[in-house]
Amino acid sequence: MAQDAAGQGAQSRFHVPAPPARPGEAPDFSAYSFQKAGEAKRPDPLIDGARTSDLAHGLVGVLDHNHQAVGEWDPRLSPEVLREGLSHMVLTRIYDDRMLKLQRQGKMSFYMKSAGEEAVSVAAAMALNKTDMVFPSYRQQGILIARGRNIVDMMCHCISNSRDNLKGRQLPVHYTWKEGGFFSVSGNLGTQFPQAVGYAMGCAYKGEDSIAASWIGDGTTAEVDFHSALVLASTYRAPVILNVVNNQWAISMFSGISRGEASNFAMRGLGYGIASIRVDANDFLAVYAATRWAAERARKGGGPTFFEMVTYRKDAHSTSDDPGKYRPKEEGAQWPLGDPIDRLKNHLIGLGEWDEDRHAALEREMTAYVTKAYKEAESHGTLHDGPLSPTETIFEDLYDKPDWRLIRQRRDLGV
Amino acid sequence: MAQDAAGQGAQSRFHVPAPPARPGEAPDFSAYSFQKAGEAKRPDPLIDGARTSDLAHGLVGVLDHNHQAVGEWDPRLSPEVLREGLSHMVLTRIYDDRMLKLQRQGKMSFYMKSAGEEAVSVAAAMALNKTDMVFPSYRQQGILIARGRNIVDMMCHCISNSRDNLKGRQLPVHYTWKEGGFFSVSGNLGTQFPQAVGYAMGCAYKGEDSIAASWIGDGTTAEVDFHSALVLASTYRAPVILNVVNNQWAISMFSGISRGEASNFAMRGLGYGIASIRVDANDFLAVYAATRWAAERARKGGGPTFFEMVTYRKDAHSTSDDPGKYRPKEEGAQWPLGDPIDRLKNHLIGLGEWDEDRHAALEREMTAYVTKAYKEAESHGTLHDGPLSPTETIFEDLYDKPDWRLIRQRRDLGV
Amino acid sequence: MPAMNMLQSLNSAMDVLLERDGDVVIFGEDVGYFGGVFGATAGLQKKYGLDRVFDAPINESAIVAMAIGMAAKGLRPVAEIQFSDYIFPGIDQIVSELSRIRYRSADQFRTPVVVRTPSGGGIRGGQTHSMSPEAFFTHVPGVQVVIPSTPYDAKGLLIAATESDDPVIFFEPKRIYNGPFDGKPDAPLKSWAKHPKGEVPEGHYTVEIGKAEIVREGQACTVVTYGTLVHVAEAAAEASGIDAEIIDLKTLAPYDIETIAASVHKTGRVVVAHEAPRTSGFGAELAAQIQEECFYALETPIFRLTGWDTPYPHAHEWAYFPGQERFIRALKTVTEA
Amino acid sequence: MPAMNMLQSLNSAMDVLLERDGDVVIFGEDVGYFGGVFGATAGLQKKYGLDRVFDAPINESAIVAMAIGMAAKGLRPVAEIQFSDYIFPGIDQIVSELSRIRYRSADQFRTPVVVRTPSGGGIRGGQTHSMSPEAFFTHVPGVQVVIPSTPYDAKGLLIAATESDDPVIFFEPKRIYNGPFDGKPDAPLKSWAKHPKGEVPEGHYTVEIGKAEIVREGQACTVVTYGTLVHVAEAAAEASGIDAEIIDLKTLAPYDIETIAASVHKTGRVVVAHEAPRTSGFGAELAAQIQEECFYALETPIFRLTGWDTPYPHAHEWAYFPGQERFIRALKTVTEA
Ligand SMILES: Cc1ncc(C[n+]2csc(CCOP(=O)(O)OP(=O)(O)O)c2C)c(N)n1
Ligand SMILES: Cc1ncc(C[n+]2csc(CCOP(=O)(O)OP(=O)(O)O)c2C)c(N)n1
Ligand SMILES: [Mg+2]
Ligand SMILES: [Mg+2]
């Protein structure tokens, strides 16, 4: 890049990066280069972090263009496990679609889908132990589904009704589920990244072999907490998995605004001496295998792993934006790494362990399941029509016991 | 490092790094490996930042163990320039020593020396243009000296007297000198690093070919502003030089607390796609050549350069600590990269351009100069006995005109 | 004069600034091509180019620091923090740097930075899109704090802020971006078109920083407030028939003590109101200063009408927001005592 | 009982905590081998090991975040921020996270973190080693704010803070680490040995969070203050012969309104005092609440004795610090009015 600047007249000039294509232009992926599935080597999980440069610049992939599992990273999962993963991803997508519709109908204030990114959360959740604490962003609802949270409870949170386990305090999709090892999702980007490291240090301190994992987006890598997390993880060799979900966009900003002149995000971890790996995150098997590798590394005292999970945000950032306003409509459809559900489905079909009819049946089943669940959820109220959790709950859970200020304020409100 | 953790029983355990040697133990530099002087290649200054990995892992050095200038990075400076650099470094050291004594005598509240690190600031200042703005930490007083600031003015600031150009508002050594392109030194670590990038962007915005440079310490690389600066510099390809002065210690903490598992600090820049170079910063010629290279790169539109300036903090962190309490006394004397003044002096002697007598004369001259300057400075008052800048100045320079609050408060104080 | 809502008037202010002064640059998260998540900068990048109006990485500390550096070089940066809830990663650069550089350099360097940021609740944003953190900044010597309550003031104050040689933290009450709000969540949305201050000149003008305005004259009591609550106060006065004098502060640092004191000397009864939590909110400063200034004129305790000492709840946001009902109760309390 | 200065009593508190509870960990910049730049943690790493008391990278945000994560896992971290001036890089993790995790998770997760940090001026630290930022944190729902003024209270409050299930920001008035200060810079340094609260039990005890103490009974007026200024107030009362009742708040959030109100109802005259800048300092909250609570008992305006609305100057620090002289003038003002 320096060269063309020089070419531009060998004089420093103000530079602001821009994406290759904007609305009305043809999608352009020429800046991307992806190592072929099966090519990346799989080193011993206790490898010195500094020696993972090839993995940071390459791409760990298992499913090739024929949807066959190839190479050292193939986790060799049984058809049962693969079908379980497929069904979690399908449920996640159908759940998201349904929630979006309900938001449009005014049943909830806000929603965020994970369309196209289901493998990131589902495969990771299946590769981790249930006792491992996850510190997700707002786009890893797939973890809740894979860990078996009742979707009625998830819906009750999203519609902020009387059964919302967060008492209506949080925006939709900002879940918390301690039982399931799912930490409180913050609306503030990045803050959970260093917290996850602290939690992981706590696991090590207590001599447990549980670990922690966290997810942030490509745009969030620019945030101060990103650096805090990597410094802590490196210095204290924490048993933590730090995932950057590079879905190419941060609301309207392309990944270049946070990546800058670097060719990818995985490289960033190398500078801290942390094992750093770039993963085809639309490849369920690759995400599963990589997460397993990192979990083994962490449990055995090898320390942290930093992942760039390469994927694409297929839909809007949230219900508050229209992606047609800032990127080509066709970009998602043409994304070179395809769709995580299609790819796992075709892999299973290739194995003779799945077919179109069974898939259609699965989709019908999940759709019915979601519809039924929503009926039940709605029976506990909606944000719009209530019932909500009792009003006085807004004064609870700040301190062990409310002090005089909260007691008076509750009285002032008359609840 | 992962391996030994594994060796420790293949189980995650709480890890806190510790320095190789503490007081009473023998200094241990076995963890260090330094590329030989002259070995590092000098690429075109417009090289793609991503292609500087060898320079980040190596060490740019010019003066070899015989004090001869070797290799591609030799800036081929005239004896006059070399003697000028030597004399600035000698003055800086004598100035520091004198100020320290005066602090012990109660003439000022606080002081921080730069002993052993003089080349970092003096060589850089000489390699930059006077119109380039510097955003230093509190340990680059050598820049002021090299840029010809009157040391009487520097002293008047340090003793907070009536002629302190900062009106007694700042701690000693927290200089500001706009005329000399020296930005206000903050007591808050790291904040100047991203500010320098913004300033450099301003230079590019205005189409000027002046640039900016900033310095922080090894410990400060952990700070949030470090990441902010590198993200900005990379994204906007700013004409800035970002220096990490790795003097091995952050008050009592060894560099491993901020470096973590990484083998050095220069690597950190690579992850941002920034040209990253490790420099023997006790080698005047190496610092000069590297800074020149980066300045050319910046002016020609090549963007930022990130330097790890490898040196050693010979004396205490400040007048508030005793290094004997946390590191071996002999560590400084045994530092493998020697002393910047001795090395340049011996180089000049080797060239037949200097000798011990001239050096002794230079030291005498500088000592007399400093002594005389201090007499003049003290004639304008000292913190202890005054006169100080008028008391009412504490209410000035907040806003264009003081608002009613400041007017009343000044009245309340009766000044 | 054209009718503008507050987003349009802010956009117009930045248009005027970019047009008149080549040193003005505007940046923040999503402010470039997209024009900002609320659209405040819509169209400006297209009109003035990528180097005048551009996207910034998601790092509020870097955004403020970049602005400081640019300002030190002579530019006039207008930086956007997408929501004021997210100003905290950048607050060190404001408290320790932006506010002090002129002072600690003894006026060698000035950093005329404007930080624009939408604040306040009432849009179902939950605890991370609803904060009113203005009080924090009023405790920081060296920064000015501004909060407009109408499109006209928003434009005039933003131009004045950008032309000021000293830093300004500019809070935008997002609840009233598109129309005034009378504090009744279920009432139909009003439009700025019908509001006198919805009329906004196309060109350059300024509204003075540090001057409050009496938006409603009255004898019964004085209401001191700012932003969204100015409109709630007006509606409450109308609805209750209580003859309240309502002061729109517009600037919190430095606040216009003269206008406040004059009114309180007249009425002797005071309500100070804000959305932020009660404890150490800006209402505390106002009450403390008013009781000192007008002690012998006061007939009843100064009433603080505020948000509660909790995070801003999502589902129960209207139990938190000081709406019309609570406002009327406050007016009754001070006037009937 | 042994005499301890405040550093020794804090050290003793941490010693007791580490001894009794294996989940207590202590970290911060230079706190490990070196024992902290003021020596508060001296000897603790040697006694309890590298994994209980250790150095942290220079990143206050990371320090708070690490503490949050550890606390969520069940540890009881006591983190040190080397100077309270440097808490701002970490304030987002306090405002947006630490204070809210219990609330936003509906009590699924608790984060019992203590953040210890030396604050206040009077040690020639200049503007970056002298701040008193306590007011910022009193505006943050969900955190408790504590400031001791004696070795005895420091130990008892730090133990109580660490045993509390809710976060505490624990300010240590560094000016009085080594001895009480009567507000006369030139007077010889006093020692804690002669102060009754310099006697500190070796073992475990707590001082209740949220309870203030009347450290001097009086009839003429009420002084509400905390930290270093408690001693300046006492000295000013003695020196002036004004019969002031002096309240040491000890906890600012939640502050002990009962004790304050009872005293004000008795005296009718009030001085609230702190070192921090005046505008929106904690004195504003106190004055606002007192005038509401005790309106009809007040005979004169509540007097705010504070630092100025400027950064803390270096050379002129004694013109900024509310010393004995200014204190006496304040007492006269309220008692002679
Ligand atoms: C500290 C902070 N700054 C800004 C925002 C507003 N915001 C919410 S999501 C978002 C974009 C995040 O993009 P990315 O990190 O790529 O995650 P993605 O949404 O793509 O999963 C922004 C700017 C925020 N929530 N927190
Ligand atoms: C934000 C902040 N945190 C902590 C400090 C206290 N402090 C002053 S200097 C210092 C050590 C800095 O070490 P390093 O970055 O290596 O620079 P050096 O002093 O070695 O040049 C610390 C912790 C500070 N000044 N600012
Ligand atoms: Mg993204
Ligand atoms: Mg250092």
pLDDT tens, residue by residue, C85-110 = 999 999 999 999 999 999 999 999 99
pLDDT tens, residue by residue, C141-173 = 999 999 999 999 999 999 999 999 999 999 999
Q: Whole-angstrom Cα distance, residue D124 to residue D127?
A: 9
- Confidence check: pLDDT of B182 > 80: yes
Using pLDDT thresholds of 50, 70 and 90, give the confidence band for residue A10. low
pLDDT tens, residue by residue, C236-277 = 999 999 999 999 999 999 999 999 999 999 999 999 999 999
Q: Across residues A122-151, what is the average pLDDT?
A: 98
* pLDDT at residue C337, rounded to an integer: 82
* Alpha carbon of C137 to ligand 2 centroid (Å): 26
D183: alpha, beta or left, given left = phi > 0 and alpha = psi -120 to 50? Answer: left
* Alpha carbon of A243 to ligand 3 centroid (Å): 12
- Confidence check: pLDDT of D18 > 50: yes
Is A405 in Cβ contact with D254 (below 8 Å)?
yes
- How far CA B260 is from CA of B274, C20, D219, in Å, comes to 20, 50, 60
Q: Which chains form contacts with chain C, at 3 or more CB pairs under 8 Å? A: A, B, D
B48 touches chain A (CB under 8 A): yes
pLDDT tens, residue by residue, A303-362 = 999 999 999 999 999 999 999 999 999 999 999 999 999 999 999 999 999 999 999 999
Q: What is the dihedral of CA A231, A234, A238, A239, to 10 degrees?
A: 120
Cα B327 to chain centroid, rounded: 21
Is B303 in Cβ contact with A2 (below 8 Å)?
yes
> Are C135 and C282 contacting, i.e. CB atoms less than 8 angstroms apart?
yes
Kindly report the average pLDDT of chain B as a whole number. Answer: 96
Report which secondary-structure segment, H or E, holds D72.
Answer: helix D60-72
* pLDDT at residue B6, rounded to an integer: 38
* pLDDT at residue C259, rounded to an integer: 98
Report which secondary-structure segment, H or E, holds B277.
Answer: strand B275-280
D285 touches chain A (CB under 8 A): no
pLDDT tens, residue by residue, D107-123 = 999 999 999 999 999 99
* pLDDT at residue B8, rounded to an integer: 45
- Within 10 angstroms of residue A64's Cβ, the number of other Cβ atoms is 16
* pLDDT at residue B11, rounded to an integer: 76
pLDDT tens, residue by residue, B349-396 = 999 999 999 999 999 999 999 999 999 999 999 999 999 999 999 999
A12 touches chain C (CB under 8 A): no
**Structure token pair of residue D255:** 């502050």
Q: Answer yes or no: is the C-beta of A308 below 6 A from any ligand 1 atom.
A: no
Using alpha carbons, select from C123, C155, C125 the residue that is nearest to residue C40: C155
Cα C36 to chain centroid, rounded: 18
* pLDDT at residue A3, rounded to an integer: 39
> Are C107 and C212 contacting, i.e. CB atoms less than 8 angstroms apart?
no
C129 is an active site residue: yes
Contacts of C103 in chain B (CB under 8 A): 169, 397-398
DSSP-derived secondary structure for A238-268: -SEEEEEEE-SEETTEETHHHHTTSS-STHH
> For residue D307, what are the contacts with CB-CB under 8 A and spacing of at least 6?
D121, D132, D274, D275, D276, D277, D278, D281, D320, D321, D322
* Alpha carbon of A137 to ligand 1 centroid (Å): 9
Q: Across residues C14-41, what is the average pLDDT?
A: 98
pLDDT tens, residue by residue, B185-209 = 999 999 999 999 999 999 999 999 9
Q: What is the dihedral of CA B295, B299, B301, B303, to 10 degrees?
A: 30
Residue type, B47: I
Q: Across residues C61-88, what is the average pLDDT?
A: 98
For β-strands D76-80 and D24-28, DSSP reports them as parallel
> Are D254 and A398 contacting, i.e. CB atoms less than 8 angstroms apart?
no
A201 touches chain D (CB under 8 A): yes
With CA atoms as reference, the chain D residue closest to A193 would be D65
Using pLDDT thresholds of 50, 70 and 90, give the confidence band for residue B10. low
Interface test with C, best of A169, A228, A411, A412 (most C CBs within 10 A): A169
- Confidence check: pLDDT of B4 > 70: no
- Confidence check: pLDDT of A12 > 90: no
**Structure token pair of residue B261:** 């598992």
Say which of A67, A278, A313, A343 is annotated catalytic.
Answer: A313
- How far CA C172 is from CA of B395, C116, C152, C166, in Å, comes to 30, 7, 13, 19
- Confidence check: pLDDT of B313 > 70: yes
- Confidence check: pLDDT of A9 > 70: no
**Structure token pair of residue D307:** 């630092």
- Within 10 angstroms of residue D247's Cβ, the number of other Cβ atoms is 28
Contacts of A222 in chain B (CB under 8 A): 227, 231
DSSP-derived secondary structure for A195-254: HHHHHHHHHHHTT----EEEEEETGGGGSHHHHHHHHHHHHTT-SEEEEEEE-SEETTEE
- Within 10 angstroms of residue A212's Cβ, the number of other Cβ atoms is 32
Nearest atom in ligand 2 to B216's CA: 15
Q: Whole-angstrom Cα distance, residue C183 to residue C180?
A: 9
ipTM above 0.85, yes or no: yes
Is A272 in Cβ contact with B262 (below 8 Å)?
yes
User: Which residues are within 5 Å of ligand 3 (an ion), measured at CB?
Assistant: A 217-218, 247, 250
Which of helix, strand or coil describes residue B128?
Answer: coil
Q: Nearest CA of chain D to the CA of B250: how many Å?
A: 9
Contacts of A23 in chain C (CB under 8 A): none
Window from A160-164, C69-73, D187-191 with minimum mean pLDDT: D187-191
Q: Work out the percent of chain C whose per-residue pLDDT is above 70.
A: 100
Interface test with C, best of B134, B231, B397, B410 (most C CBs within 10 A): B397
Using pLDDT thresholds of 50, 70 and 90, give the confidence band for residue D304. very high
- Confidence check: pLDDT of A98 > 60: yes
- How far CA D322 is from CA of A11, B384, B412, C129, D185, in Å, comes to 55, 20, 11, 39, 11
D201 touches chain C (CB under 8 A): no
Q: Nearest CA of chain B to the CA of A339: how many Å?
A: 28
Q: Whole-angstrom Cα distance, residue C117 to residue C127?
A: 16
* pLDDT at residue C81, rounded to an integer: 98
pLDDT tens, residue by residue, B96-126 = 999 999 999 999 999 999 999 999 999 999 9
User: Which residues are within 5 Å of ligand 4 (an ion), measured at CB?
Assistant: B 217-218, 247, 250
Ligand located closest to C57 CA:
1
**Structure token pair of residue C238:** 């109308």
Which residues of D are the active-site residues?
Answer: 129
* pLDDT at residue A208, rounded to an integer: 95
* pLDDT at residue B13, rounded to an integer: 86
Q: Whole-angstrom Cα distance, residue C132 to residue C259?
A: 24
For β-strands A253-254 and A249-250, DSSP reports them as antiparallel
Q: In what order do the strands lie in the sheet with D53-55?
A: D53-55, D24-28, D76-80, D114-119, D168-173, D144-146, D251-253
Q: Across residues D205-225, what is the average pLDDT?
A: 98
Using alpha carbons, select from D143, D165, D141, D168 the residue that is nearest to residue D157: D168
Using pLDDT thresholds of 50, 70 and 90, give the confidence band for residue C334. very high
For residues B243-257, b (16+ Cβ closer than 10 Å) or e, as one string? Answer: bbbbbbbbbbbbbbb
Using pLDDT thresholds of 50, 70 and 90, give the confidence band for residue A2. very low
Q: Whole-angstrom Cα distance, residue C35 to residue C27?
A: 10
pLDDT tens, residue by residue, B260-300 = 999 999 999 999 999 999 999 999 999 999 999 999 999 99
Using alpha carbons, select from D169, D167, D290 the residue that is nearest to residue D224: D290
D135, β-bridge pairs:
none
D115, β-bridge pairs:
D79, D169
Residue A108: phi and psi, rounded to 5, are: -145, 165
Using pLDDT thresholds of 50, 70 and 90, give the confidence band for residue D60. very high
Interface of B with A in 161-190 (CB under 8 A): none
Using alpha carbons, select from A281, A274, A294, A283 the residue that is nearest to residue A129: A294
* Alpha carbon of B247 to ligand 4 centroid (Å): 5
pLDDT tens, residue by residue, C178-227 = 999 999 999 999 999 999 999 999 999 999 999 999 999 999 999 999 99
Q: For chain C, what is the total number of helices (H) and then of strands (E)? A: 12, 12
Is B228 in Cβ contact with C61 (below 8 Å)?
yes
Q: Whole-angstrom Cα distance, residue C126 to residue D15?
A: 42
Q: Whole-angstrom Cα distance, residue A246 to residue D72?
A: 27
- Confidence check: pLDDT of B310 > 60: yes
> Are C178 and C123 contacting, i.e. CB atoms less than 8 angstroms apart?
no
- A174, burial (CB in 10 Å: exposed 0-12, middle 13-18, buried 19+): buried
Q: Answer yes or no: is the C-beta of B139 below 6 A from any ligand 2 atom.
A: yes
Q: Across residues A266-282, what is the average pLDDT?
A: 98
Which member of C33, C61, C316 has the closest CB to residue A388? Answer: C316
Using pLDDT thresholds of 50, 70 and 90, give the confidence band for residue A6. very low
**Structure token pair of residue C294:** 């007008």
> For residue D47, what are the contacts with CB-CB under 8 A and spacing of at least 6?
D15, D18
Task: Count Cα neighbours of D218 within 13 Å in the Cβ-side half-sphere.
Answer: 26
- How far CA A306 is from CA of A41, B10, B182, in Å, comes to 17, 20, 39
* pLDDT at residue A267, rounded to an integer: 97
A54 touches chain B (CB under 8 A): no
